[in-house]
Amino acid sequence: MGAEILLDKHMYKKPFHGRSNGSHSNRPFSNRGPSHGGQRGGNRGGRGNFGSYIDPSKFINKAVITETVEHFVPEHKFEDFKIGEGIKRAVIAKGYKAPSPIQDRVIPYILQGQDVVGLANTGTGKTAAFLIPLIDKVINDPKKQVLIIAPTRELAIQIEQELKSFTKGMKIYSVCCVGGANIVPQIRQLRFLNNFVIGTPGRLKDLISTGKIILANYSTLVLDEADRMLDMGFIVDMRFIMAGMPKPRHTLLFSATLSPEIEKLIKEFLHEPVRISVKSRDTSKNVDQDIVRVMPGKNKLDVLRDLLSQKEFSKVLVFGKTKHGVEKLSKLLIERGFKAESIHGNKNHSKRQQALKQFKENQLQVLVATDVAARGLDIADVSHVINFDLPATYDDYVHRIGRTGRGDKLGKALTFIE
Handedness of CA 111, 175, 123, 252 (dihedral sign): negative
What does each of the 418 residues of the chain score in pLDDT, given as a tens digit?
A: 444 444 433 332 233 333 333 333 333 333 333 333 333 334 444 555 445 677 777 777 665 433 333 456 778 889 889 999 999 999 999 888 889 889 999 999 999 999 999 987 666 789 999 999 999 999 999 999 999 999 988 899 999 999 999 999 899 999 999 998 899 999 999 999 999 999 999 999 999 999 999 999 999 999 999 988 988 889 999 999 999 999 899 999 998 888 888 899 899 999 999 999 886 555 566 788 898 998 888 899 999 999 999 999 999 999 999 999 999 999 999 999 999 999 988 888 788 889 988 999 999 999 999 987 666 567 888 999 999 999 888 878 888 888 887 766 788 999 999 8
Instruction: Give the CA distances from residue 47 to residues 37, 183, 231, 374, in Å, rounded to whole numbers and listed in that order.
Output: 19, 39, 18, 19
Nearest to 89 by CA among 50, 134, 136, 44: 136
**Distance from C-alpha of 386 to C-alpha of 407, rounded to nearest angstrom:** 19
Please report how many Cα atoms fall inside a 13 Å half-sphere around the Cα of residue 263, on the Cβ side: 3
The domain limits of the chain are 22-67+285-417, 78-277
Handedness of CA 97, 103, 108, 113 (dihedral sign): negative
Strand partners, 288: 412
CATH topology assigned to domain 78-277: Rossmann fold (3.40.50)
Instruction: Tell me what pLDDT residue 106 has.
Output: 94
Please report how many Cα atoms fall inside a 13 Å half-sphere around the Cα of residue 62, on the Cβ side: 11
pTM over 0.75: no
The answer to whether 22-67+285-417 and 78-277 have equal CATH topology is yes
Backbone angles phi, psi at 47, to 5 degrees: -95, 120
Q: Where are the alpha helices (DSSP H) in 275-411?
A: 300-308, 323-335, 349-360, 394-401
CATH of domain 22-67+285-417: 3.40.50.300
Instruction: Tell me what pLDDT residue 183 has.
Output: 96
Instruction: Give the CA distances from residue 274 to residues 2, 4, 106, 266, 277, in Å, rounded to whole numbers and listed in that order.
Output: 5, 6, 9, 11, 10
